[in-house]
Structure 1
Amino acid sequence: MPIDRYYALGRSGLRVSPLALGTMTFGTNGLYGSWGSTEEVSRAIFDRYLAAGGNFFDTADFYTQGTSEAMLGKFVAEAGVRDRVVLTTKFSNNVEFGNPNAGGNGRKSMMRAVEASLRRLRTDYIDLYLLHTWDRITPAEEVMRTFDDLVRAGKIRYAGLSDVPGWYAGRAQTYAEAHALTPLINLQLQYSLIERNIEPEFVPLAQTLGLGITAWSPLGMGLLSGKYRPGEGGGTGEGRLTQKASGPTVGLFTEHNWRVVAALEEVAQEVGRSMAQVALNWAATQPGLASVIIGASKVSQLDDNLASLDFELPTKLRQRLNEVSARTPPFPYPMFTDAYQSRILNAGSSVGDKPAGYAPPVWMEKPSIGG
């Protein structure tokens, strides 16, 4: 699965690379400034990804206080590749202290945010525009109406959601379908060997409603890269996980995760690949996944990530990773196992699915949902 073999994102005609380049590290004035990249390094990373055949770039207005968007827009303009690349950016986080409408998911905030992003990205349209995080307030109907207006105005081409509850995504997509509005084509969610909670709810939701999933943090905030080891206080290693952290980086040094890391290291040794490459390969080839977002603060790190698609994990080794990283599904999913469902369907009679040949074939190498 080379990076320049493109797949349709969700139920759309937008073709994207199986590895997207995340640009949260473009700039040194963000949440993790000491791990950010200067403009020179960021440009080298951009050039390397583009030369490899990648076309899918991910940023947000909040990344490095707008520097990420500004750098990415400059690089695209100077390279003259606007029509070739797919630019994704996001809105939600407040960018102006004391102004409640400078953040959130409401129409006023979204309209302000999209204009600011267009200026920084030096473009007159955004390929994929995402709600960054659910604000717990704005109705899905308001979000979908505004997305539709932005598409009709030519400001954006496609829309999606990031980090929202499953019911909210379902409500939004169903509302759009019922009112002939622009449908969503993307869900951006955290997913990795140590974070598989999206599997019971979001993956079937995406497959049913035509949403391609893009995975952020496929290396588990760096834990799956191999640079951390168990130690006093949870773990040791050079990186943000051993510094004072907050949000999704809290609580990663657990016994379960260390078992995953140990198994990943053994599998990586068996296939002669780096731990990061194996972790990315596993995520990129999981059901429902359209693209995996990789990030890098130096070119050598990007090169290692790009090589994650150059091999196929043997079935037994994949199963080993599946088993060690598995989590007990939350209620009510244990009730949907074959054993439990047999009480509902069989009841002394023969009930089952129709033969595989009943449904007409889909003449595609890979479903449009990317999984």
Structure 2
Amino acid sequence: MKYKKLGKSGAIVSELCLGTMTFGKGTSEKDAVRMVHQFLDYGGNFIDTADVYVGGKSEEIVGEAIKDRRSDVVLATKVRMKTGENPNDVGYSRKRVMEGVEQSLKRLKTDYIDLYQLHVWDHLTPIEETLRTLNDLISSGKVRYIGCSNFLAWQLMKSLSISEQKNIAKFITIQPQYSLLHREMDREMLSLCQEEGIGILPWAPLGGGFLTGKYDSLHKPDEEWRLVTAGPGEYYWENKALERNFIILEKVKKIAAEIDKTPAQVALNWLLMKEGITSPIFGARTLEQFEENINAAGWQLSKEHFEELDQISALPPEYPNRFIEKFKRDI
């Protein structure tokens, strides 16, 4: 397992991050704890969860799994989504964030969170209020670093600018959807993060399971698989079963066969090699899936295979990027 700096901080994280969204639903507590321990034994140290995952059960399981190895772990969780019926049980008000962090700490059985992340932009709460609250949490020692997730480029830049102006803590990471299927980040966010030194922690690096290779046609399968049973949203079958995506999948499967790897391992390894990516967040419902995914590390695609995947999954040239590229200056 290789390691990278977490954004502009001095913290070091493993090149793969263990996602825990299925812990307590789809993955039994027993298997989840085994998965965490195996991840740590393999050299992984970065674990991601959220207060909303399985109604807080995911945080509880993670807390139980790491209670005797807390110092070995860089622990990340998130706040924002609705966790109760009270009107203040959602969003980024000072009240919500202060109460949310206490609830997460209790479930995680720890007195500090290494990376506390805003789950998605909140149009109701002024970001200044939220950033000051997060800064206070860092000053209190309950949080070490802060990050965001599912932000637009202007939202991230606005947040960084406010932190700069107010001399308070800045986001050091962003957690976006990013994979061979979803490269929308390439439009603006990727270059912004590289410019500002923001660590990128992609979620859904396997496209919700699409890039594992078990889907092989535009025809919706009958099996109880995630993309089949999910309702409208990012994991919805109709959002993934596109002709373009099947072309990408065929290339992944072809390369996997050539180098005796699985499609999932090839798709994850492409992300590990992608400039600017800190640590893809991989999930696993079963221990078998965990073993497959963890073995995406420890080797590299050839330059030729990496470029084949990069080219076939690239977004079409778009304004203003194609205009800017035309007038790019080199020394």
TM range (shorter): over 0.9
Equivalent residue, structure 1, for 2:330: 353
Q: Is the CA contact 1:18–1:292 (under 8 Å) kept in the aligned structure 2?
A: yes
CA distance in 2 between partners of 1:85 and 1:63 (Å): 19
Equivalent residue, structure 2, for 1:151: 138
Deviation at 1:231, TM superposition (A): 4.0
Deviates more, 1:289-298 or 1:320-329: 320-329
CA distance in 2 between partners of 1:183 and 1:210 (Å): 11
Q: Does 1:254 align with 2:231?
A: no
Equivalent residue, structure 2, for 1:15: 12
Equivalent residue, structure 2, for 1:96: 84
SS in 1 for 2:47: strand
Deviation at 1:334, TM superposition (A): 2.0
**Aligned ranges 1:224-243 → 2 under 5 Å:** 224-232=211-219, 234=220, 238-243=224-229
Q: Does 1:64 align with 2:54?
A: yes
Equivalent residue, structure 1, for 2:43: 53
Equivalent residue, structure 1, for 2:197: 210
CA distance in 2 between partners of 1:267 and 1:143 (Å): 45
**Aligned ranges 1:129-278 → 2 under 5 Å:** 129-232=116-219, 234=220, 238-250=224-236, 251-278=239-266
Q: Deviations over 1:253-297 (max 9, x none)?
A: 000001011111101111110000000000121111000101111
Equivalent residue, structure 1, for 2:284: 296
* 2:234 partner letter: P
Q: Deviations over 1:9-60 (max 9, x none)?
A: 11110110010000111102xxxxxxx1111111111111011011000000
Equivalent residue, structure 2, for 1:361: none
Aligned residues: 329
Uncovered stretches (5+) of structure 1, i.e. residues with no partner? 29-35, 343-351, 355-371
- Identity among equivalent pairs (%): 39
CA distance in 2 between partners of 1:188 and 1:113 (Å): 19
CA distance in 1 between partners of 2:189 and 2:255 (Å): 28
CA distance in 2 between partners of 1:225 and 1:272 (Å): 14
Equivalent residue, structure 1, for 2:303: 315
Deviation at 1:123, TM superposition (A): 0.8
Equivalent residue, structure 2, for 1:33: none
Deviates more, 1:240-249 or 1:274-283: 240-249
Report the structure number with the largest CA radius of gyration.
1
Deviation at 1:310, TM superposition (A): 2.3
CA distance in 1 between partners of 2:89 and 2:247 (Å): 43
CA distance in 2 between partners of 1:103 and 1:141 (Å): 17
Q: Is the CA contact 1:229–1:235 (under 8 Å) kept in the aligned structure 2?
A: no
Equivalent residue, structure 1, for 2:316: 328
Q: Does 1:125 align with 2:112?
A: yes
* 2:37 partner letter: D
CA distance in 2 between partners of 1:231 and 1:292 (Å): 27
Q: Deviations over 1:86-120 (max 9, x none)?
A: 110000001112x2211112221111110100000
CA distance in 2 between partners of 1:336 and 1:231 (Å): 36
TM-score of the pair, normalised by structure 2:
0.96
Equivalent residue, structure 2, for 1:364: none
Q: Is the CA contact 2:273–2:300 (under 8 Å) kept in the aligned structure 1?
A: no
* 1:260 partner letter: I
* 1:131 partner letter: L
* 2:11 partner letter: L
Return closer, same or farther for 1:49/1:320 CA change in 2, 3 Å cut-off. same
Deviation at 1:328, TM superposition (A): 1.6
Deviation at 1:237, TM superposition (A): 5.2
RMSD, aligned α-carbons: 1.4
Q: Does 1:114 align with 2:101?
A: yes
Q: Does 1:44 align with 2:41?
A: no
* 2:120 partner letter: T
CA distance in 2 between partners of 1:253 and 1:261 (Å): 11
Deviation at 1:151, TM superposition (A): 0.3
Uncovered stretches (5+) of structure 2, i.e. residues with no partner? none
Q: Is the CA contact 1:118–1:124 (under 8 Å) kept in the aligned structure 2?
A: yes
Deviation at 1:121, TM superposition (A): 0.5
CA distance in 1 between partners of 2:304 and 2:222 (Å): 30
CA distance in 2 between partners of 1:56 and 1:37 (Å): 19
Return closer, same or farther for 1:52/1:146 CA change in 2, 3 Å cut-off. same
SS in 2 for 1:54: coil
Q: Is the CA contact 1:140–1:168 (under 8 Å) kept in the aligned structure 2?
A: no
Deviation at 1:353, TM superposition (A): 3.3
